[in-house]
């Protein structure tokens, strides 16, 4: 995915650094911010888990085996990396049953920090965000330019590309094979991964076009504007001074399409651009439409809730940030450094 010049992240500035990311798991630490705390009663057991060396789906499958329930009975809010130290909540539905003695179950690299009952399953996307601590190693380049760029990103945001995690290893190619009738997903999780990757290709290509024409951080007539920190969007027929000022102070953001049946919802020149990109990726766009996904929107601009950094030993840069759901710390790191993945 990243090798395709039509969809690879493009930034409106020169990248001042190069370095390595995820050399060790502890170089990438993620703590999930819960949207809901378990209330202590109900048929779902919520488990607060710290893991290393496993992705979220592998832990969910392990929990299902331990509990003796179908995989569908296990929920989590967001997928977390394997080559990282991550903390997140899982839920296991156990109607009318006692929970297992989790302390007697062992999976190397997985630690259960807390267990509490709740009335509802934990569903995908139901999280408040994530806190990250990311260490870049063997960093070379212009440190002062990177500091200035990070200051600017803290104040003005950056293009909100989907990160490499969204694409996995070959999920775009598998989505193309599925839509062409050469492959079928095995189960709901694979289907979700392939659909998500296909949507991300189209979104990233739209965002790349708008970085090229300079409109990624400003509203255009025909845009759907996003209210910062929410999933709310509204159509922009004309960009008046009030809307322009709200966009400049990061209260509003332009959005791009998460493709689905019924069209992207934009208008005018914005719709023309998005349709042109969908035409370039017609096998993915048509496949998403056939699968009946409802169209949605995603901000083109990422505004970190918090962004701090410091240099260690001259050639290591530590980034600390808090991001919203679906926002990528690797995207922030990749906006200042050309990175080699050590994971």
Three-state DSSP state, 194: helix
**Dihedral class, residue 278 (left if φ above 0, else alpha if ψ from -120 to 50, else beta):** alpha
Three-state DSSP state, 1: coil
> Which candidate, 189, 200, 202, 176, places its Cα nearest to that of 287?
176
Q: Is 81 a catalytic residue?
A: yes
End-to-end CA distance of the chain: 17
Q: Are strands 252-258 and 337-341 parallel, antiparallel or unpaired?
A: unpaired
> Which candidate, 201, 155, 135, places its Cα nearest to that of 337?
135
Of the residues 27, 81, 160, 223, only one is catalytic, namely 81
State the greatest distance between any 2 C-alpha atoms of the chain, in Å, as a whole number: 63
**Separation in Å, CA 280 to CA 178, 216, 288, 295:** 18, 20, 14, 18
**What stretch of H or E contains 129?**
strand 127-141
201 within 8 A of 285, measured Cβ to Cβ = no
Active site residues: 81
């Amino acid at each position: 995915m990243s090798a395709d010049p039509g969809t690879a992240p493009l930034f409106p500035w020169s990248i001042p650094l190069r370095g390595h990311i995820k050399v060790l798991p502890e170089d990438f630490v993620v703590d999930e911010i819960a949207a809901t705390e378990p209330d202590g009663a109900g048929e779902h057991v919520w488990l607060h888990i710290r893991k290393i060396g496993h992705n979220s789906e592998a832990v969910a499958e392990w929990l299902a085996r331990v509990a003796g329930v179908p995989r569908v009975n296990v929920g989590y809010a967001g997928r977390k990396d394997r080559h990282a130290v991550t903390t997140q909540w899982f839920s296991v539905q156990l109607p009318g049953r006692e929970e297992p003695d989790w302390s007697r179950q062992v999976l190397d690299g997985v630690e259960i920090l807390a267990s509490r009952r709740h009335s509802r399953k934990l569903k995908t996307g139901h999280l408040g965000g994530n806190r990250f601590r990311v260490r870049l190693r063997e960093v070379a380049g212009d440190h002062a330019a990177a500091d200035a760029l990070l200051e600017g990103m803290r104040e003005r945001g950056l293009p909100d590309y989907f990160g490499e995690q969204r694409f996995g290893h070959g999920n775009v190619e598998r989505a193309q094979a599925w839509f062409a009738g050469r492959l079928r997903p095995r189960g709901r999780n694979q289907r979700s991964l392939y659909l998500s990757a296909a949507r991300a290709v189209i979104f990233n290509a739209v965002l790349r076009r708008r970085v090229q024409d300079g409109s990624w951080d400003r509203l255009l007539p025909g845009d759907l504007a996003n209210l910062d920190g929410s999933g709310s969007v509204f159509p922009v027929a004309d960009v008046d001074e009030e809307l322009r000022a709200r966009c400049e102070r990061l209260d509003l953001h332009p959005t791009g399409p998460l493709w689905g049946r019924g069209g992207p919802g934009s208008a005018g020149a914005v719709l023309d651009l998005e349709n042109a990109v969908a035409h370039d990726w017609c096998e993915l766009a048509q496949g998403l439409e056939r699968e009946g996904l409802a169209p949605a929107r995603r901000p083109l601009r990422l505004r970190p809730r918090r962004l701090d950094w410091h240099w260690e030993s001259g050639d290591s840069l530590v980034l600390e940030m808090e991001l919203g759901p679906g926002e990528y710390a690797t995207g922030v790191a990749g906006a200042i450094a050309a990175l080699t993945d050590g994971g």
